[in-house]
Chain A
């Protein structure tokens, strides 16, 4: 669920109980398992069982099961990377400087998007009809944000 959908879901749960405080708790619990659950979803998309992923990772099925049920905070980066590789995926990291100013954070996001766009461009044909639009977006949106 997108952030807003989770908040709406939590608000409906709170309205049913007549207890506003539960909404924030549901949102927090949801946010605490985003990465772990995304592993299970990616596995399912590829039609793989936990057993098959475990075999590719060289670990037990119960380890895979524990990873998918874990809190994100309890997952190691190595385990996430190993799981992703078993699915044929690469993991990319993004550091969000949450204590930085809004401008700095916006610039960081714009830089990360620019990196993604470079990767996207490398996957498109040279004469792609999207090239002009990508250039306009990069020049008109990302570059000014990065420059500040």
Chain B
């Protein structure tokens, strides 16, 4: 069962967007709910059928807003962890910060992967006594 996690989310940035670009932020969240539904219905992360869901490589995905008039182009960045069936919400941004946001999300995703790898290794060692 896939679920979202705010554990590694950029709280300050997200609170700012929730306040200043409310409709876009809400739309991105509603779209994330649709992504999670699709994943729980058996769709592969790479085969989510929605146009607002785009790969930014390294398991980082961008979720755009839809149906917002006079919109401030907003993107929610997530890391989809297949091992934990968890969509980690990382940050939110717009076009002006796009490249920096993607780079930061790649770094976060790599750190998360390393951490998950270490945890899996530790579990294995515990099992083996």
Contact = CB atoms under 8 A, between A and B. Distances in A.
Interface string A46-57: 000000000000
A9 interface: yes
Contact of A17 (B4, B14, B43, B49): B14
B67 A71 contact: yes
A99 to B, nearest CB: 26
Contacts of B112: none
Given A17-B14, A69-B66, A40 B26 contact: no
Contact of B29 (A26, A32, A65, A69): A26
B18 A9 contact: no
A19 B38 CA distance: 27
Contacts, number: 74
Interface in B40-69: 40-41, 43, 47-52, 66-67
Main secondary structure of the interface of B (DSSP, over half): helix
Given A16-B9, A22-B18, A29 B4 contact: no
Interface residues of A, number: 27
A44 to B, nearest CB: 4
A17 B47 contact: no
A29 B52 contact: no
Contacts of B52: 69
A44 B47 contact: yes
Interface residues of B, number: 29
A68 B52 CA distance: 10
A44 B29 contact: no
A1 B51 contact: no
Contacts of B22: 22, 25
Interface of B: 4, 6, 9, 11, 14-15, 18, 22, 25-27, 29-30, 33-34, 36-38, 40-41, 43, 47-52, 66-67
5 contacts: A1-B37, A10-B33, A12-B6, A44-B38, A69-B67
